[in-house]
A = this chain, B = another copy of it.
Amino acid sequence: MAYRETGKVREHKAAQRELLLATGEALVREGGFAALTVQALAARAGMGVGTVYRYFRAKDELATEVFRRATEREVAAVAAALAGQPDAVASLRAAIGCFARRALRAPRLAWGLIAEPVDPAVDAERLRYRAAYAELFEQVIAAGLRAGELPPQPTRLAAAALVGALAEALVGPLADHQADEPVIHELTLFCLRATGARLAEQENDHDQTDGFAPGRARGHA
């Protein structure tokens, strides 16, 4: 007998796979999924093209995995922002603010997750991504309905429309890229009005629960 996979090797393989996924996300953050080519990935990760295929059956699989991870992180952040909010309006504010800040901070990634055209395989994942967001918003709206905070409305439709409004205003081609906070503030008001929340007309919008540490640099596209 001459060879058996040892712990060190196993660790190394896991690290390689991890490296590929991290590098893949970095590429996506810089240039969207279009920039995620096997050649570029291998070069950036410091390995040969063929090696990539030792860790992923096909590029689809890799891209899907990169998408899924980023997705899960984003959705989890929004879900976390929702936790413990006292009412539906506060929840909506928190969710919108969280979504918006993260999207504005990583616009290419957000665009990749939300809108960029990629393969069918990734598109299937995107469906789940949007659905997950819509689900979050839907539940908040439903809760608001039950509590009488929001007027009757089809929750699914409203949730979809919210996601669309946020996406378009933030990462769509119409995004103005002005100072972030005022945009977020106005967009929040827009969404709250859309769902029929009764606004107190004084907007103390000091919620910043977005899962990020407060100070950091961010480049504009």
Contacts and interface: CB of A to CB of B under 8 A. Distances in A.
A80 interface: no
Nearest to A173: B127
Interface string A116-131: 1110000100110011
A169 interface: yes
Contacts of A161: 165-166, 168-169, 187, 190-191
A31 interface: no
Number of chain copies forming the complex: 2
Nearest to A33: B117
Given A168-B167, A174-B163, A191-B194, A157 B130 contact: no
Contacts of A160: 168-169, 172, 174-176
Interface residues of A, number: 41
A-side interface mostly: helix
A190 B157 contact: yes
Nearest to A154: B186
A54 to B, nearest CB: 30
